[in-house]
Chains A and B, each alone.
Chain A
Amino acid sequence: MLRFILRRLGASAAILLGASLLLYVLMVNAGDPLKDLRESNASNRDELIRQRIGFMGLDQPWYQRYWTWLAGVAKCVTLNCDLGTNRSGVEVSSLLANAAGSTLRLVVLATVLAAVLGIAVGVLTAVRQYSGLDYSVTFLTFLFFSLPVFWAAVLLKEYLAIGYNDWIANPAFTPAQTAVSALLFGFVMQVVLAGSRTRRLATFAASAAFVALVLPYLQWLNFFRYPQLGFGGVVVLSLAVALSATATSAGLRNKLVLYPVLATVLAGAIAYWATFGLMENPTWGTLALLLAAAVAVPVVLGRVLGGHLRGRATGAGLATALAMAGLTTLDHIFRAWPGFLSLKPRPISTIGSQTPNFGGTFWESFLDRGAQLLLPTLLLALISLASYSRYTRASMLEVGRQDYIRTARAKGLGERTVILKHALRNALIPIATIMAFDFAGLIGGAVVTEAVFGWKGMGELFRTGLDQVDPAPVMAFFLVTGTAAVLFNMLADILYAILDPRIRV
């Protein structure tokens, strides 16, 4: 395996080199980099042209320029990258450093969101093949897939951002809105949960009634401007998680599991108050430390109190502790929301990846960036949702008729075990490949998304670079996306080898 990985690494480097040469040659031939100056009638035009020729090295043949670029990139080994200058003499490496952060944040989030949602939807539609759910979800994913990104972005801004901002100023639901939401939610829930006609009716009635009651209640609480969870909410929800985790792993009567899990909830309750001050304005460092503690405590408790069931006790405790940590964090975010709203009365801006001069607490700036990230991430994720869900569906159906699945069913295994443990695991093999190039593809998609949301990320770097026939920024863009693509492809290959033993490497 090690040899395989090393060989792939070497091949990857060669591929990057070849692709960079290919792209460079294409870029050099993509047009006339001096076009705008030829159009100019500035009296110092010749001087400007001379200057640009100097910055871009246009007086040298293209292979020499490529070689200079390559030599600069080679310096990256000593962490001293020289990516050249753009046509007006600005260092590309400093441009890239600024651009890469926001783009990677966007793309990673969108990929994860799309993969998780897409695989879930794919499994669901495969299990319910040719049901109403299958058709409507298929239709919806195709619809998202078929949307032109930039146009959808304008719509999102119009209805989600501006609409939400108008609404949050004085959040209220009209009775008609409540009724429609309730009916819609009830309808969706019965489609998702399915079952016999009576069961569907019951699901519909229960969910619709739930929404119809909860929305006015939340509005009465002014929840949308002053959301609250509180200590009580955290503990009650955590207890629910604790009990269900115990029930599924060993059964509620099993004290070897129940006690360490309950002890975890107790520890979490103490931690809630102990860290309260700290959590009001933490740093990423403190958050990481607290998360480590949230992992350590249930592990220790499970090992000490779990006896011969310490494995299950640790697992259930871990689930409980993570849920509790999440809820506590959510509680603090809720507490920060009113302050955030007073700092930024219109929470979702239509441009930029953060608000200029935003001086708030940790959670307030977290919310600011989150609000800015929301629309582009949602858009990118929705668009790539289709490929994940379709491939998962196809793959699940394919796997579903293999002999070993039939065998598993014949053994009398529960449907859930068959689908999740046997079918999904194998169906995920092709998905690994999809994810690998979808990631790189999404960086490409980010080119358009960034343009519409006014982000100055790598997409912008590429777009202006190509427009101005300026190879340096385009090559810098490629360096990041290409490396990411190569790495992810390699991971996919390795995963292939691990997941499917039939493939000899």
Chain B
Amino acid sequence: MPAGGEAAAAASLAEAEDAALRLRGDTATSQGRLVARRFLAHKAAMASVAVFAAIAVLAFTSIGFAGIPGWWDKSYTLAATVVDGGRPTLSLVPGWLGGEGLRWGEHPFGQDSTGKDYFALVMRGTQQSITIALVVGTVATVIGSVVGAVAGYFRGWVDSVLMRITDLVIVIPLLVLAAVLGKIAGGSGNVLVLALVLGLVTWTGLARLVRGEVLSLREREFVSAAEAMGARASRIIFRHLLPNTVGVIAVNATFAVAGAILLETSLSYLGFGVRAPDSSLGLLISQYQSAFTTRPWLFWWPGMTILAVALSVNFIGDGLRDAFDPRQSRAARRKGRTRP
């Protein structure tokens, strides 16, 4: 047990070391830049970022957001006369291929049963789903990694208390807890409330994983070294342990975001999620699940959007993990591999 003065000296030693590293980082390539560079080189991830960004921009600019009007003139709430059975007017097949030429038309995605513009509805649903997914992903990731790291690092009673709380939530199946909370929160009609509530129940898996990692990591030399240099617990957790679990966190966060979209879908199907007159992609699919043979556009547009968002988010996570974890990256692997 070092005396107080020594501890303070040691802490300042650790900080001095960091400062030196930072200084050197400025001249050479910093960790962050390395990660960014590796991520930018990941083709699948970059394509996914482009897809995700395109969808998000389309969704938020087309029908406007938070009171700001968008460029699409039709509303997702206004009923109208159903034209041509509500078929989409969008055509992508040029005339010389036997199609109807490139055309955007009056209702590119068609109309629903009451004649509401389906493009506007899908865009509104995408906004809601992306909002839900991002909020859930952020809340769950922050809570999960902090709880897991603190529990794993301190062990003892802190670990016990935190893990018992985690267990308390984990023991109730996710969909069940989410459905009950969704039924309670759904009445409020506010998607953000629903998203926050979902975030509060989806962090448990990550917490356990991070704790497992940290339990292993904290026996490693660099932690002992940091401890020996007198670094504070918060410093060790946030600067040494968490960065080393970033692979697990990134993989899990992407699953959490994609999972949140699907959780919302399931909840809406069961009737405990977003409710009409508001709209979400899940609600649209569950409303029109029986339409897939008869009015396929009512299913395919929201379905493909969900798929595109979920897939791109997953691939972004994949790219992130590779970027944080250079030893797994393509270049390193190639160099390391020797073929007979």
Query: Contact at B251–A18, with CB atoms within 8 Å?
Result: no
Query: Contact at B251–A444, with CB atoms within 8 Å?
Result: no
Would you list which residues of chain A between 405 and 440 have a CB under 8 Å from chain B? Answer: 429-430, 433, 437, 440
User: Which of these, B164, B173, B184, B292, contacts A30 with CB under 8 Å?
Assistant: B184
* Chain B residue contacts of A23, Cβ below 8 A: 172, 176-177, 180
Query: Contact at B176–A447, with CB atoms within 8 Å?
Result: yes
CA distance A31 to B182 in the complex (A): 11
Query: Contact at A146–B311, with CB atoms within 8 Å?
Result: yes
- Contact segment of B12-20, B97-105, B264-272: B264-272
Query: Contact at B269–A150, with CB atoms within 8 Å?
Result: yes
Count of chain B residues with a beta carbon within 8 Å of a chain A beta carbon: 61
CA distance A474 to B286 in the complex (A): 23
Would you list which residues of chain A between 133 and 163 have a CB under 8 Å from chain B? Answer: 135, 138-139, 142-143, 145-151, 154-155, 158
User: Which of these, B184, B219, B282, contacts A29 with CB under 8 Å?
Assistant: B184
The answer, yes or no, to whether B191 is at the interface (CB within 8 Å) is: no
* Chain B residue contacts of A150, Cβ below 8 A: 266, 269, 286, 289
Query: Contact at A26–B180, with CB atoms within 8 Å?
Result: yes
CA distance A313 to B145 in the complex (A): 50
Query: Contact at A477–B176, with CB atoms within 8 Å?
Result: yes
Would you list which residues of chain A between 1 and 59 have a CB under 8 Å from chain B? Answer: 11-12, 14-16, 18-19, 22-23, 26-27, 29-31
| Known contacts A15-B167, A503-B215: A148-B266 contact under CB 8 Å | yes
The answer, yes or no, to whether B9 is at the interface (CB within 8 Å) is: no
CA distance A150 to B169 in the complex (A): 26
The answer, yes or no, to whether A247 is at the interface (CB within 8 Å) is: no
CA distance A394 to B321 in the complex (A): 9
The answer, yes or no, to whether B299 is at the interface (CB within 8 Å) is: yes
User: Which of these, A135, A401, A445, A451, contacts B327 with CB under 8 Å?
Assistant: A401
Minimum distance in angstroms from A483 CB to a CB of chain B = 9
| Known contacts A463-B270, A481-B176: A30-B183 contact under CB 8 Å | yes
User: Which of these, A148, A155, A441, A466, contacts B282 with CB under 8 Å?
Assistant: A148
CA distance A443 to B272 in the complex (A): 18
A493-505 near B? 1/0 per residue, CB < 8 Å: 0001000101100
CA distance A496 to B176 in the complex (A): 27
The answer, yes or no, to whether B209 is at the interface (CB within 8 Å) is: yes
The answer, yes or no, to whether B310 is at the interface (CB within 8 Å) is: yes
The answer, yes or no, to whether B170 is at the interface (CB within 8 Å) is: yes
| Known contacts A15-B168, A154-B290, A441-B173: A146-B183 contact under CB 8 Å | no
| Known contacts A398-B247, A503-B215: A154-B176 contact under CB 8 Å | no
| Known contacts A19-B168, A146-B314, A503-B216: A154-B289 contact under CB 8 Å | yes
Query: Contact at B174–A26, with CB atoms within 8 Å?
Result: no
The answer, yes or no, to whether B121 is at the interface (CB within 8 Å) is: no
CA distance A440 to B167 in the complex (A): 12
Q: Which residue of A lies closest to B281 (CB)?
A: A148
The answer, yes or no, to whether B51 is at the interface (CB within 8 Å) is: no
Query: Contact at A448–B183, with CB atoms within 8 Å?
Result: no
Minimum distance in angstroms from B336 CB to a CB of chain A = 9
The answer, yes or no, to whether B64 is at the interface (CB within 8 Å) is: no
B198-218 near A? 1/0 per residue, CB < 8 Å: 000000110011001001100
* Chain B residue contacts of A451, Cβ below 8 A: 270
Would you list which residues of chain A between 184 and 221 have a CB under 8 Å from chain B? Answer: none
Query: Contact at B251–A466, with CB atoms within 8 Å?
Result: no
User: Which of these, B272, B299, B330, contacts A466 with CB under 8 Å?
Assistant: B272
Query: Contact at B167–A502, with CB atoms within 8 Å?
Result: no
The answer, yes or no, to whether B181 is at the interface (CB within 8 Å) is: yes
A465-505 near B? 1/0 per residue, CB < 8 Å: 01100000010011001100110010000001000101100
User: Which of these, A478, A489, A503, contacts B176 with CB under 8 Å?
Assistant: A478
Q: Which residue of B lies closest to A149 (CB)?
A: B266
Would you list which residues of chain A between 73 and 132 have a CB under 8 Å from chain B? Answer: 129-130
* Chain A residue contacts of B241, Cβ below 8 A: none
* Chain A residue contacts of B269, Cβ below 8 A: 148-150, 448
* Chain B residue contacts of A447, Cβ below 8 A: 175-176, 179, 270
The answer, yes or no, to whether A391 is at the interface (CB within 8 Å) is: yes
Query: Contact at A496–B174, with CB atoms within 8 Å?
Result: no
| Known contacts A26-B184, A154-B289, A401-B328: A467-B271 contact under CB 8 Å | yes
User: Which of these, A145, A151, A502, contacts B314 with CB under 8 Å?
Assistant: A145
CA distance A149 to B266 in the complex (A): 8
* Chain A residue contacts of B212, Cβ below 8 A: 429-430, 433, 496
A437-461 near B? 1/0 per residue, CB < 8 Å: 1001101110110010000000000
CA distance A228 to B38 in the complex (A): 56
| Known contacts A151-B303, A466-B179: A433-B209 contact under CB 8 Å | yes
Minimum distance in angstroms from A433 CB to a CB of chain B = 6
Query: Contact at B314–A466, with CB atoms within 8 Å?
Result: no
Would you list which residues of chain B between 289 and 333 have a CB under 8 Å from chain A? Answer: 289-290, 292-293, 299, 303, 306-307, 310-311, 314-315, 318, 321, 327-328, 330, 333
User: Which of these, A16, A31, A143, contacts B307 with CB under 8 Å?
Assistant: A143
* Chain B residue contacts of A149, Cβ below 8 A: 266, 269
Query: Contact at A18–B303, with CB atoms within 8 Å?
Result: no
Q: Which residue of B lies closest to A467 (CB)?
A: B271
* Chain B residue contacts of A334, Cβ below 8 A: none
Minimum distance in angstroms from A392 CB to a CB of chain B = 12
Query: Contact at B216–A437, with CB atoms within 8 Å?
Result: no
The answer, yes or no, to whether A320 is at the interface (CB within 8 Å) is: no
| Known contacts A30-B183, A397-B328, A489-B170: A148-B315 contact under CB 8 Å | no
CA distance A466 to B180 in the complex (A): 7
The answer, yes or no, to whether B44 is at the interface (CB within 8 Å) is: yes
The answer, yes or no, to whether A65 is at the interface (CB within 8 Å) is: no
- Which residues of A line the B interface, CB within 8 A? 11-12, 14-16, 18-19, 22-23, 26-27, 29-31, 129-130, 135, 138-139, 142-143, 145-151, 154-155, 158, 387, 390-391, 394, 397-398, 401, 429-430, 433, 437, 440-441, 443-445, 447-448, 451, 462-463, 466-467, 474, 477-478, 481-482, 485-486, 489, 496, 500, 502-503
Can you name 17 A-B pairs with beta carbons within 8 Å?
A11-B167, A16-B171, A26-B184, A31-B187, A129-B328, A139-B311, A148-B306, A150-B269, A443-B173, A444-B173, A447-B176, A451-B270, A474-B176, A485-B170, A485-B172, A485-B173, A503-B216
Closest 3 CB pairs of A and B: A444-B175, A444-B173, A146-B310
